[in-house]
Amino acid sequence: MSIPRFPLLQAAAAALAIGVSAAADAQVTAPPTREQYLALVRQNAPDALKDVRKLVTNLLGVELAPDPLTKQFNIGAATAALFPGQSPFFDPNCRRVRTPTGNIDTGDCTAFLGTESGPGEYTRLSFSKNLGLGNLKYIKRDPVKDITSKDLIPIQISNDTAEKTARDFLGQVFGVPSAELQPPQPSGLPSSQTNLQVTNLAIRAANKAGDKLEKVVVLKTVTLQRAFKLPTPIDGPPIPGTAANIATKLTHVPGPGKATVAIGSRGVVGAAVGNWIDLRKDPNLTADRAKSVDKLLQEIADDLFNEGGGPVAEMRFQFVISSEWRGTFGFLLPAVQVAVLPVKRNLTEDEQNKLAGQTTTPFIREYALVERAEAEINAR
């Protein structure tokens, strides 16, 4: 099972929340040589990488929830909350947790009421047959009908209330451990860097008088990354726009899993938890296996050069908890992600025109901070 890459968060506020280490700009407009790539990696590597052993010790010490999702998700409680007073139908394959060949069944069990393609109300809950995979999904759809702009019901809650609603739903209905959700953003951040985890779905529609268009927010979506608290905070980059350009303290690092909750005028109408795998600590993995600084930076430079080898406008580092998959659970693996941006952000129109025909897509690579035996790699 491959563990998905985590997107590098662009805002320093998000960096403070889940432990991003972002380096300064590293502008190289021509395709760099391998030696130039190594110089860029050395130049942009965060200070915490100067002592990989100490960093690995810190990452191996993150707090895992004592009661993980595999223990906290209760199908009886979930169906009672999502199908109140009703008994949903269950897919007949729900009891099959292995394939005919004996492998782990990576599919979902589905409970539902209504017909997805029909015009009536439809509600569906699905969850991994092997819950160690960590996938849960819920959707509720009202009966299909034609509406006009006058029928739109705006959602009246604030972003802070939407986030609280999402956190409560994830914990109380899905059983997602609250300790593994990225912490709320700290106060005192610039307005451009607050509530980044909440997005609005707005529709422009005629107002009640019908004389002009108005924006009606009909849905709020809250997205929360899985995150683990560090034993010792890591010094991070400064937060632009804050008083005295204060430096961040990285208290959490992201791990495998992300949760999204959609909230409408009548409450939660959809939710998805993806890849929230059952994560455990490998009793055989210690900081003694930490890579040397030189070996790690050489590995990163070689891989980035072979992967892309194009222009580098910016290079960003992010410490993460990755996983070595073991079929029904994963062992915690300290890692670092490196993102290479071939062009700088916020380009002017003239600058964009000059880049016609060139790739502008960033690429992200992930590197274990520890040495793994060949047998351990093959066991994934």
Extents of the domains making up the chain: 12-63+282-378, 69-90+104-278
How confident is the model at residue 147, as a pLDDT?
A: 74
How confident is the model at residue 23, as a pLDDT?
A: 44
Residues of the chain short of pLDDT 70, as ranges, are: 1-31, 186-195, 206-212, 237-247, 308-309, 344-360, 373-380
How confident is the model at residue 171, as a pLDDT?
A: 97
Instruction: Quick: pLDDT tens for 253-277.
Output: 999 999 999 999 989 999 999 999 9
**CA dihedral defined by 67, 281, 223, 156, rounded to 10 degrees?**
20
How confident is the model at residue 16, as a pLDDT?
A: 37
Q: How far apart are CA 279 and CA 323, in angstroms?
A: 7
Q: What angle do CA 183, 5, 360 make, to 5 degrees?
A: 110
How confident is the model at residue 363, as a pLDDT?
A: 83
How confident is the model at residue 2, as a pLDDT?
A: 33
Point out which residues pair with 374 in neighbouring strands: none
How confident is the model at residue 67, as a pLDDT?
A: 93
> Which amino acid is it at 25?
D
How confident is the model at residue 11, as a pLDDT?
A: 35
Place of tokens 């990163």: 300
Q: How far apart are CA 331 and CA 283, in angstroms?
A: 9
CB 125 within 8 A of CB 88: yes
Q: Considering just the CA atoms, what is the radius of gyration of the chain in Å? A: 23
Nearest Cα residue to 73 out of 98, 114, 103, 108: 108
Instruction: Quick: pLDDT tens for 101-117.
Output: 989 999 999 999 999 88
How confident is the model at residue 362, as a pLDDT?
A: 78
Per DSSP, which regions of 239-311 are E strands? Answer: 247-264, 267-274, 279-280
CB 101 within 8 A of CB 90: no
How confident is the model at residue 141, as a pLDDT?
A: 93
